[in-house]
Structure 1
Amino acid sequence: MIVEYKLHDIVEMKKPHPCKKSNQWQIIRMGADIKIKCLGCQAIVMFSRRDFEKRLKRVIPQDQE
Structure 2
Amino acid sequence: MVDHQYGLNDIVEMKKQHPCKKSTEWQIIRMGADIKIKCLGCGAVIMFTRREFEKKLKKVVKHHDD
Normalized against structure 2, the TM-score is what? 0.91
CA apart distance, 1:61: 2.7
Higher relative contact order (CA 8 A, sep 6+): 2
Separation of aligned partners in 1, 2:17 and 2:39: 10
TM-score (structure 1 length as normaliser): 0.92
Q: Write the mapping of 1:1-65 to structure 2, written as runs, cut at 5 A.
A: 1-62=2-63
d(CA) in 1 for partners of 2:18 and 2:37?
Answer: 12
Q: Which runs of 4+ in 1 moved over 4 A?
A: none
Structure whose residues are more often helix by fraction: 1
Name the CA distance, whole Å, in 2 between partners of 1:23 and 1:17. Answer: 6
Equivalent-residue separation in structure 2 for 1:16 and 1:61 (angstroms): 17
Q: What is the number of residues matched between the two proteins?
A: 62
Structure 2: which 5+ residue stretches go unaligned?
Answer: none
Q: Which amino acid aligns with 1:46?
A: M
State how far apart, in whole Å, the 2-side matches of 1:29 and 1:14 are.
20
For structure 1, the 5+ residue unaligned runs are: none
Q: Deviations along 1:7-54, whole A, 9 cap, x unmatched?
A: 000000000000000000000000000000000000000000000000
